[in-house]
Chains A and B, each alone.
Chain A
Amino acid sequence: MKRILAMILAVLMMATLFVGCGEKEGAGGSATALEPEQGAKLKVWAPDAAQEVFKAQCQAFVDQYPDAGITFEVVVQGEGDAAAQVLNDPEAAADVFSFACDQLNKLNDAGVIAPVNTKLLEDVTARNSEDSVKAGTLPFNGQDTLLAYPETGDNGYFLYYDKSVVSEEDAKTLEGVFEACRKAGRKFIMDAGNGFYSCIFPFTGGLRIEGLEGEENDTQKFNDYNEEEVVAALEAFAKLFHEYDDIFESGEVAKIPSGFAENPKSVAAGIDGSWDAATIQNALGDDFGAVKLPTIDVNGEAKQMVSLHGYKLIGVNAQSKFPNAAQLLANHLTSEACQLERAEKISWGPSNIKAAESDAAKNNVAISAALDQAKFSVPQINMSSTFWDPMGNLGNNLFKEDAKYDTKTLTELLEKTIVNIRDE
C-alpha cells in the first residue's frame, strides 16, 4: 500500500514539475515534445516469435520521423535471459530490449536500465493497467520510479485442458479436473518442482511476497500470513496429488504441448503459460480450452488457486547513445496500437487498458484466461534470487511418493522454506 502511495506521489510530483515548467499542453505537447536524435541507430531485442511484428512496428516508428534518418535492427533475444545478457556487457546490449519483469531489480541494481522519460511518464502510467505499472516500478535514486514500459499483461500461467475430456464445469475445481483426467486415463501435468509454479501452493493459503527489505535490500519480505491457513492449503494440495498419483505428474512444461499432440493424447490438462498457447491450440483444435486456474477444496472451502503473474516490459539501455530515440521507440512499441496488433497477430495479452478491453484480446481464449488469472495473482516483481530454489523444493515435497504430508511436517517445511528464501 505504502509503495503504491509513494508511487502516486511520485507521479503527482512529476506532473507538478511539468506545470511548474509552464507547460500548458501537458505531456506530449508539441512545443517541447521529445524529439529523437538525428541519425539515431537503434538495436532492438525481441524474442523469436515476435520478430516480424517488431520489425514492422519499428519501421512504422521510423516513418513517423522522416527527417530524423533513424535506422534500426531487430535482433533475436529471448526475454528469459535478457537481463543476464545486458549485465554481461551493457555496452554491446540492445538500446531497447524486451524482458520479463522479475529481472527488473537485477537491471536496476546494476544501473543498466534508464527510467522512463519524464515527459512520457504520465501517458505511460495512465494508459497501462495499474499492476503492470507496479511491475515496472522500483526505488530509484531513493524514489519509486517507473523504470520500464509495460509491454504485455499476460506473462503468467493458467489451466489448459482438452474440452473433449474436461468439461467447462470440471475445469472450475482442481478436484473436477483430476477426476475427469482419471476417467479418461490421461494425465495432468504441471512443473510442481519449479518455484515459478510451486509458489501456487503457499500463495493459495494466503502467503504473499512484498518486495525486498534489509540492510542491502536483498532479503525477501513476506506478508503477515496465517501459518495454519498456509499449511492447510499445502496439505490439501499434497493430499490431492497423492490421491491422484496415477494421473498427476510433475514435469517440465514442454510435456504439456507434447502430450496434447500425441496420438492418442496422453495429457488432458496442465498448467502452462501463454508462450505455449499457439502450439497447444494447434494440437487440440476445437477441443482447445484455456481458463484461469481452478479452485481447490481446503477443509471444505473452495479456495481459488493464486498464481505468480508476470509482465513483460520494454527497457531502455542506460548506456544507449541515442537515449531520446530509444525512449520514443520503447514508448511506440508499447502503445495501444502496437499492443493491439501483437494481440491479434501473436496472441500477446496487452497491458494497455484499452487494448485489453478490445475484441481481439477478449475473443482470444488464452489471453482472456491469462488476464482472468491475473486477478488472482501475486505480481512477479521485486523478488530475491534466492526465492526459486527453496520454493521449488517445497513443491517437490508435496508430490513425492514417499513424502510425508502431515501438518507438523508441512509446518516445518514451510518455516524452513521461508528461512532459506530470506537467507539472513
Chain B
Amino acid sequence: MIKSYKLKRGLANGFIYLVLSVLGLIWISPLVYLVLHSFRDEGLATVSYLLPKTYSFKNYIDLFTDTATLNFPKWFMNTLIVAIFSCIISTLAVLMVSYSFSRLRFKARKPLINVGMILGMFPGFMTMIAIYYLLKAMNLTQTLLALVICYSAGAGLGYQISKGFFDTIPRALDEAATIDGATRNQIFWKIILPMSKPIVVYTVLTSFIGPWTDFILAKIIMGDNRDNYTVAIGLQTMVSLEFKAAYFKRFLAGSVIVAVPISILFLFMQRYYVEGVTAGGVKG
C-alpha cells in the first residue's frame, strides 16, 4: 500500500519534472538564441540555420567603439540616468498616493480613487502629441528631464497594488503611534515605510524597467536629437530599414547588454517583488 503510494508520487513527480523541463526549454530557448546570435560572427541580419557557425566578440566591441553614427554607450548612460531619477520620483509618488488612499480619511478620497481607476482605461497614443506640446511650452523637449517627467508624472496612478499592501498593515499601529503623539508625517516615514520593503522594491523595479522599454513616446520627445536617445529608441533604430542589414547583430548584442543588468537586479529582488505583489495585488 505504502509502496504503491510512493510509486504513484514518484511517477507524478517524474511527470512534473518532464513538463517543467520541456516548458523551461521552450521558455529559455529564445533567450539562448538571442545570446548565441549576439556573438555570431558570420552573415548579416538573418541566417537560415539555427546555431551560429563562428563566434566572436566583434558585435559587442563594435557596439561600444563604433559610436560615430549610433552611440550606444551614450544611450545606455542616458537611459540609466532617466531610469534612476524617474524611479525615485515614481516610487515616492506611488507611495504618497497609496498611503493617503489607504491610511488617511478625507472627503475626496473615494472620488479620487475612482478617477484613478477610470484614467487607466484610456489608450494613451493620442495623448502623446499633447504631451509633446506641453513639454515644448515648458521648453523641455529633446531633454532627458522631459523623459523623467513623462515617466514619473503619471506614476501616482499605479497606486492599486501598493494601496493593497498598505491595507494589510494593521491600523492599530497608527492608532498607537497617534496616542504617543506622532504626527501622520512621522507615522508615514518612521513606521509604515520601514515595514514596506517589499512594496518599495516592487515599485522601484517596475518603474526602473519602464524607461528601458519605451520606444514610442521617447522617440516623439527626442525627435532628431540623437545624443539624448535612450537604448530603446536606439535599438529600434538599429532594426529600421536603413540599418537593419548591417546592424542587426549589434541590435542583438545591445539587447543582451540591456537585459543583463535588469535580469540580475530582478533575480536579486525577486523575493521582495513576489512579496509585494502578493500582499498588494490581491485585495485591491
Residues of A whose CB lies within 8 Å of any CB of B are: 45, 47-49, 51, 75-78, 80, 85, 88-89, 92-94, 252-255, 257-259, 261-263, 266, 275-276, 279, 283
Q: Does B103 reach chain A (CB closer than 8 Å)?
A: no
A280 nearest in chain B by CB position:
B245
Residues of B whose CB lies within 8 Å of any CB of A are: 42-48, 53, 69, 129, 132-133, 136, 141-142, 220, 223-224, 226, 240-246, 248
Query: Given known contacts A77-B224, A89-B223, A254-B241, what 14 new A-B pairs fall within 8 Å (CB)?
Result: A47-B242, A76-B69, A88-B129, A254-B244, A257-B44, A258-B44, A258-B46, A258-B47, A259-B46, A261-B43, A262-B47, A266-B47, A275-B242, A279-B246
Residues of B within 8 A of A78 (CB): 240-242
A97 nearest in chain B by CB position:
B224
Q: How far is the CB of A278 from chain B (nearest CB, A)?
A: 9
Q: How far is the CB of B77 from chain A (nearest CB, A)?
A: 19
Q: How far is the CA of A247 from the CA of B224 in the complex (A)?
A: 41
Q: Which 3 A-B residue pairings sit nearest by Cβ, starting from the closest?
A: A254-B244, A257-B245, A258-B44
Q: Chain A contact residues: over half helix, strand or loop, or mixed?
A: mixed
Judge whether A263 and B53 touch: CB under 8 Å: yes
Q: How far is the CA of A263 from the CA of B245 in the complex (A)?
A: 16
A266 nearest in chain B by CB position:
B48
Residues of A within 8 A of B242 (CB): 47-49, 78, 80, 275
Residues of B within 8 A of A275 (CB): 241-242
9 chain-A/chain-B pairs, Cβ below 8 angstroms: A51-B69, A76-B69, A89-B133, A89-B136, A92-B136, A254-B46, A254-B241, A257-B45, A283-B44
Q: How far is the CA of A255 from the CA of B48 in the complex (A)?
A: 10
Judge whether B142 and A276 touch: CB under 8 Å: no
Residues of B within 8 A of A259 (CB): 46, 48
Q: How far is the CB of A190 from chain B (nearest CB, A)?
A: 15
Q: Chain B contact residues: over half helix, strand or loop, or mixed?
A: loop
> Which residue in B48, B53, B223 is a CB contact (below 8 Å) of A88?
B223
Q: A85-B223, A85-B224, A94-B224 are in contact. Are A263 and B240 (CB under 8 A)?
A: no
B220 nearest in chain A by CB position:
A88
Q: A89-B141, A279-B245 are in contact. Are A258 and B224 (CB under 8 A)?
A: no
> Which residue in A77, A80, A85, A254 is a CB contact (below 8 Å) of B245?
A254
Residues of A within 8 A of B46 (CB): 254-255, 258-259
Residues of A within 8 A of B244 (CB): 252, 254
Judge whether B45 and A45 touch: CB under 8 Å: no
Chain A CB within 10 Å, residue with most, of B136, B142, B245, B248: B245
Q: How far is the CB of B74 from chain A (nearest CB, A)?
A: 14
Judge whether A48 and B245 touch: CB under 8 Å: no
Q: How far is the CA of A78 from the CA of B48 in the complex (A)?
A: 29
Judge whether A262 and B136 touch: CB under 8 Å: no
Q: How far is the CA of A77 from the CA of B142 in the complex (A)?
A: 15
Q: How far is the CB of A258 from chain B (nearest CB, A)?
A: 4
Judge whether A80 and B241 touch: CB under 8 Å: yes
A76 nearest in chain B by CB position:
B226
Residues of A within 8 A of B53 (CB): 263
Judge whether A89 and B132 touch: CB under 8 Å: yes
Q: How far is the CA of A89 from the CA of B221 in the complex (A)?
A: 10
Q: How far is the CA of A76 from the CA of B47 in the complex (A)?
A: 29
Q: How far is the CB of A241 from chain B (nearest CB, A)?
A: 20
A262 nearest in chain B by CB position:
B43
Q: How far is the CA of A51 from the CA of B69 in the complex (A)?
A: 9
Residues of B within 8 A of A80 (CB): 240-242
Q: How far is the CB of A277 from chain B (nearest CB, A)?
A: 11
Q: How far is the CA of A110 from the CA of B130 in the complex (A)?
A: 18
Residues of B within 8 A of A262 (CB): 42-44, 47-48
Q: How far is the CB of A36 from chain B (nearest CB, A)?
A: 23
A78 nearest in chain B by CB position:
B242
Q: How far is the CB of B58 from chain A (nearest CB, A)?
A: 14
Q: How far is the CA of A263 from the CA of B223 in the complex (A)?
A: 39
B136 nearest in chain A by CB position:
A89
Judge whether A258 and B223 touch: CB under 8 Å: no
Q: How far is the CA of A94 from the CA of B44 in the complex (A)?
A: 33
Q: How far is the CA of A93 from the CA of B48 in the complex (A)?
A: 41
B226 nearest in chain A by CB position:
A76
